Amino acid sequence: MLAARRRVAGWYAELLADVEGLELPCSDEGGDERGWFVYVVQLPRGVDRDEAIVALRERGVQSKPYLPAIHLMSYYREAFGHREGEFPVCEDVAARSIALPFFPDLAQSQAEKVAEAVGAVAQSLRGSRRAAQATS
Residue 89 lies inside a defined structural domain of this protein? no
Ramachandran sector of residue 85 (left: φ over 0; alpha: ψ -120 to 50; beta: rest): left
Tell me the pLDDT tens digit for each residue of 40-82.
999 999 999 999 999 999 999 999 999 889 999 999 999 999 9
Residue 92 lies inside a defined structural domain of this protein? no
Q: Which of 30-34, 35-39, 43-47 has the lowest mean pLDDT?
A: 30-34
Range of the domain at 22: 2-66+99-130
| Angle in degrees, CA 20, 123, 53, rounded to 5 | 105
Residue 109 lies inside a defined structural domain of this protein? yes
Q: Residue 32: which CATH number?
A: 3.90.1150.10
Question: Is residue 22 within 8 Å of 118, Cβ to Cβ?
Answer: yes
The domain total for the chain is 1
Quick check: 130 pLDDT over 80?
no
Helix axes 2-16, 108-135, angle to 10 degrees: 40
Coil/strand/helix, residue 13: helix
Closest CA to 44 of 133, 134, 124: 124
Residue 16 lies inside a defined structural domain of this protein? yes
